[in-house]
Amino acid sequence: MFKNYLKIAWRNLLKNTGYSIINVGGLAIGLASFLLITIFISNELSFDKYHEKKDNIYRVIHHSNEDSPSDAWVWGNAPVGPALKSDFPEIIEKVQFSGISDILLEYNNRKFQESECFYMDPTAFDVFSWELINGNPNTALKAPYSIVLTETTARKYFGDENPIGKTIEGIGGRANDGGYTVTGVLKDIPKNSHFNFDVLMSMSSFYQTRPEIFDSWGYVDFYTYLLVSDNFDQAAFESKISGFLDKHIETEEREEYFYNFSLESLNNIYLHSTADRQPGETGSLSNIYIFGLIGLFILIIASINFMNLATARSMERAKEVGVRKVIGAERKGLIYQFLGESLILVLVASVIGLVLAFIGLPWLGKLTDKVFEFNSVITTTSILLYFGVTILTGLFAGSYPAFILSAFKPVSVLKGAFRTSQKGTNLRKGLVIFQFSLSIALIASTVVVYHQLGFMLNKEMGFDKEQQLILDFNWDGAVLGNAGAIKNELLSLAEVSSISLSRTVPSSHFPAAGTDIETIEGNMENFTPYIYEVDNNFIQHYKIEMVAGRAFSPDFQTDSISSLVINEAAVKAFGYNEPNKIIGKKFQQWGREGTIIGVVKDFNYMSLHQKVAPLTLRQVPYGRYFSLRISSNNYQEVLSKIEQKWSELAPHRPFLYSFLDESFNAQYIADIRFRKLFTIFSCLAIFIACLGLFGLATYSAMLRTKEIGIRKVLGAEILTIVALLSKDFIKLVGIAILIAIPFSWYGMEQWLNDYAYKIDVEWWVFLLSGIIALFIAILTVSFQALKSARRNPVKSLRTE
């Protein structure tokens, strides 16, 4: 019997080739899209899961007062780690590492500036599951000036040579320049880690240069992770934090700086952490939900297509059912037969979908900048899950036609009195409305996503980021010692109209500084705003607008020792409602005292995900970056001239440059990837919906073939017939538009809440989405309607 069912299913598949391609093809694309989205989500959920002790690893989150730019920081002080390990027996081990550091490494004339480096405690290999290929994990990071390289980094310097024991020269970073001994080679860590690195250096190297900061509770430059015992109770532990701080920090000092901390599980870091100053990238839980919904929508739309087309074509098999019932077939057997046929079609689609997913996986990896290996993501569990979803889809999609077909009355069917039921027609219309509601919601959402990202990329930031060339010399002492002459030489180039030296530039790293400023009442109030350390030309160079007072100037020698410029957000944070009222007020910051000389207009020195936070600017004679404003559009020629000049001025340093607009917009790389993925999968969902609509239009035209022939004989125009065949589908799409608007509006409003600066979801978005949906529907339906309307009526009436 099963063999017979299989044979009949295969004959029907071949008999209706066009229907089969639409039905199986649409479902295959839907299943492939669902699988790819599942792989992407699975990868996002897998971050940090490779650590064997992941459930026992926590990190310290530092808290400051609620008026600070952020009241939760991952980046914090050093003494909290040793004190916690000493005071709490449930803490088995602690590992601390510095903020990310850059260092110029050189071996046998192979010279590279490594930008993914950390100074790390030797206990790192006791806490994290990082595999050393060469070296002793117990001693690799113990001695001063020890260095561990990842496998890829080691190969870059040493090729196939064994690097253990070799000396590699380092310039820059947090430790003194000099030789580092290679004590370990580390297997490249998995990409699904919340922070990545190429180089690890011993924390004792850092300690050699600034031992005092390792005892300072107010100095920020460290990340602290803890390995706890199996019976660790986070809530009970955090209830003891206040007493712990009272023991280690003077009460007055703690109250003055409002310092506190909490713990965060390693399992929650990538998707759930909201703390500032992360050591690496974090994911977006809301984006996972969105992609999960899109994957579900695509699967539902594909299943609806399958059900709709199977139900619509049930009339063609009515006589077959009648004959089978007359010769003794039971309803149960017919249900099994048609469900079986549905499952066979779905299984064919699932195999094709698996092949399409295999083909699309490299594309997905390139689009998301992630590595997806088919062998690692296609496991026994995932295959069982995939085919489990496939079978459920087949049962869902085939259930209605199976039960409807099996219920046909043989007498009515064989007399030719059977007609399509109104219930079946209404079901198909309802399903079309539902799938197009989903499709229109996706169209509207795509428009909003594009508009929001365009808004972020094109918004006026409050400073000039166009044609700004940034030279990174990474605090090189030789460059700093000759900074004045280098600036003059670079400025002598005709293509360079302005130059500035600074510790940071917009979009790069910047610290925060404990700052006391005189209040309206005359008291000194402490606060921790961000800080830019700049030269006397920075504000003019970046064309930042002054709203009160003046900028730094070479005409005022005291600017470099006793002057401070702040932004409007800092003015408000210190309780002033007008910028000019804070001019002349006293300040104390990082060993410097003086007066506030100016207020700059708020400018977006961070991405538009965040509000402009309080900022202070102070003049210093040092920095890391030269900012050059270029007055020529011939960038290749300009870069060649500047590189030649740089090789004369600093021959020991590589020419490392970037354009500020590109590096600033790189902050939105995750948003750009999201937009691409969202758009592609939304288009796939709409395409699958259109396949179903095309199939139904084809079937509708087939049922009305003779009606169309009669109308043409009686003189009906082609456009009239096209309108006749199209209007019912257009009505359904119109209803879908009305249903989709409120849901897509609400969903996009929730998504936009992740942005501090966002667009308003306006009415034209839904008008445009409706027009696009109607256009797609009309194009889809009219193609088949036009084909039917142009058919020779003699052929359609010949059998009448």
pLDDT tens digits along 742-783? 988 998 998 898 888 999 998 888 888 888 888 888 887 777
Judged against a pLDDT cut of 80, whether residue 354 lies above it is answered with yes
Q: Mean per-residue pLDDT for 366-390?
A: 78
- For residues 701 and 628, membership in a common domain is answered with no
* 253 and 372 assigned to the same domain: no
Specify the pLDDT at position 335. Answer: 77
Closest Cα to residue 449, out of 740, 32, 769, 666? 769
Helix axis angle, 422-458 relative to 763-789, nearest 10°?
130
**Which range has the worst mean pLDDT, 54-68, 74-88, 441-455, 479-493?**
54-68
Choice among 142-151, 195-204, 416-425, 526-535 with the minimum mean pLDDT = 416-425
Q: Is residue 221 part of a domain?
A: yes
Asked whether residue 735 is domain-assigned, the answer is: yes
Residue 262 and residue 130 share a domain: yes
Best-predicted range by mean pLDDT (592-601, 604-613, 718-727): 592-601
pLDDT digit string, tens, across residues 613-631: 999 999 999 999 999 999 9
Same domain assignment for residues 289 and 242: no
Confidence bin at 2 (pLDDT 50/70/90): low
Closest CA to 693 of 773, 766, 772: 773
Whether 86 is covered by a domain: the verdict is yes
Give 414's pLDDT tier (boundaries 50, 70, 90). low
How many angstroms separate the CA atoms of 654 and 483, rounded? 16
Of 667, 688, 716, the residue at which a domain comes to its end is: 667
Query: Who contacts 148 (Cβ-Cβ below 8 Å, separation ≥6)?
Result: 132, 135, 140, 141, 182, 183, 184, 185, 186, 199, 200, 201
Nearest to residue 596, comparing CAs of 505, 487, 517?
517
Share of the chain above pLDDT 70, in %: 89
Does any domain span residue 57?
A: no
In a domain, 367, yes or no: yes
402 in the same domain as 295: yes
CA 225, 163, 175, 152 torsion: positive or negative? negative
Residue 92 sits in the same domain as residue 210:
yes
Residues 641 and 683 in one domain: no
* pLDDT tens, residue by residue, 571-601: 999 999 999 999 999 999 988 999 999 999 9
Mean pLDDT value of segment 486-507: 95
Q: Based on the fold, state whether residues 6 and 111 are members of the same structural domain.
A: no
Q: Which of 161-170, 234-243, 277-286, 726-735 has the lowest mean pLDDT?
A: 726-735
- The per-residue pLDDT for 317 is 66
Identify the pLDDT of residue 563.
Answer: 97
Query: Same structural domain for residues 566 and 696?
Result: no
Q: Which of 272, 293, 309 is the last residue of a domain?
A: 272
How much is the average pLDDT of 604-610? 90
Does 294 fall in a domain? yes
Answer yes or no: do 508 and 640 share one domain: yes
Position 461 in a domain: no
**Structural domain count of the chain:** 3
Cα–Cα distance, 146 to 165 (Å, whole number)? 10
CA atoms within 13 A on the CB side of 335: 9
475 and 363 together in one domain: no
Domain that holds residue 661: 468-667
Predicted confidence band of residue 256 (pLDDT cuts 50, 70, 90): low
Q: Is residue 30 a contact partner of residue 390, using CB atoms and an 8 Å limit?
A: no
Residue 411 confidence (pLDDT) above 90: no
Residue 55 lies in a domain: no
pTM across the whole model: 0.85
Residues 372 and 41: their CA atoms lie apart, in Å, by 12
| Residue 228 DSSP SS3 | strand
Confidence at residue 410, expressed as pLDDT on a 0 to 100 scale: 65
Last residue of a domain, one of 617, 643, 667: 667
Same domain, 232 and 257: yes
What's the count of helices (H) and strands (E) in the chain, helices before strands? 29, 23
